Amino acid sequence: MTQVKVIPITPTESLVNTPKLFVLLTAAVRDQVAEGVRLMSIYPPQLGRSKYRRTGTLRRSWSFGVTTGGGRIEGLVRSASNIAPYNREVQGEEQLLFFGRRGWANIKELDKQINRDFPKRMQDMINRAV
């Protein structure tokens, strides 16, 4: 009878520096939600000779946050409706056609931007950690 002994070859070091990876991924999430706020804060050019004076209130209503804990990283882009109660009509999911035609970004465009940019942003950070 022949005996076979298997000796696993294991690395002496971890392939990934987990704390560094977590920091890098948190930075990627932060950068992505900050980019989302930049997108939503862009005011399209005012058309014609409008006498309406823009106050920047809608821009100031946008903010972002990143929370971590329990091995999770969450980023949130939000608009405070108490600051700009008209934000749903101007940039919300049910954006009024009037505002869409004038070039206001909406939540659907924000979602597209995140889905387009975020995977690459995360992969770049993973590559930096490995």
Residue extents of the structural domains in the chain: 18-43+58-129
Q: Give yes or no for a contact between 19 and 26, defined as CB atoms under 8 angstroms apart.
A: no
pLDDT at 64: 97
Predicted confidence at residue 84, as pLDDT, reads 94
**Measured distance CA(78)–CA(65) in Å, rounded:** 8
Residue 62 confidence (pLDDT): 97
**Residue 110 pLDDT > 70:** yes
pTM above 0.85, yes or no: no
pLDDT-derived band at 2 (thresholds 50, 70, 90) equals low
Residue 48, Cβ density class (10 Å: 0-12 exposed, 13-18 middle, ≥19 buried): exposed
Q: Which of 41, 94, 44 is nearest to 64 (CA)?
A: 41
Average pLDDT, the chain: 90
Of 5-9, 21-25, 35-39, 123-127, least confident by mean pLDDT is 5-9
pLDDT at 129: 82
pLDDT of residue 122: 93
